[in-house]
Every structure is written in structure tokens, then in C-alpha cells.
Amino acid sequence: QMKKQCDQKLLIRMKTECVACSLNLDTQCPAGYTKITNGTGIPDCRYYLKIKTHTLSFPGCRHRCVKEFEQPECCQGHWGPDCMGK
């Protein structure tokens, strides 16, 4: 019995919104994603505060998140919705 279905594993990466590093400890990734950074995250971004007519920019932190996703795919030489074609 030859395998007909050869699903592809995809890794979807994303970063959370940039916030003050001290506030980033409690930041959670979206549902289904796993946080791969610890503590306050990565200090690689800036966030902005609007005060009356001025916008101030501050260094901030964000977390990296990943999600594993299986994309259904037929093995070579098979096709169709159920991978039965040869």
C-alpha cells in the first residue's frame, strides 16, 4: 500500500504588537499560537504615544509566536480531493 497523502507541515510566524517592555511580560500570543520568546520579549520595535498635538516614540518590546499548520497534499503521482488519481 503506497502512501497517497503527503501533508506539508508549515510554520506560521508572527510578532505581537509593540508595547512598553514592562507591560510585555503578560502579553499572550493569539489563540493557536505558541510564544517562543521569554520574559519581556525582544526589544526590537518602537511604540507611539499621542499627547495632545505631539506624538512621542518609545523603544518597546514584542513577542514572537509560531503556529504549526498541516497543509493537505497528495504524494507525487497522486491527485484529486482524495489523492486517488494515478
Determine, yes or no, domain membership for 74. no
pTM over 0.75: no
Q: What is the number of structural domains in the chain?
A: 1
Going residue by residue through the chain (86 aa), what tens digit of pLDDT does each one get?
568 889 999 999 999 999 999 999 999 999 999 999 999 999 999 999 999 999 999 999 999 999 999 988 999 888 888 888 76
C-alpha distances (whole Å) from 1 to each of 5, 11, 14, 79 are 12, 29, 39, 16
Determine, yes or no, domain membership for 35. yes
Determine, yes or no, domain membership for 81. no
Range(s) of the domain holding residue 17: 8-69
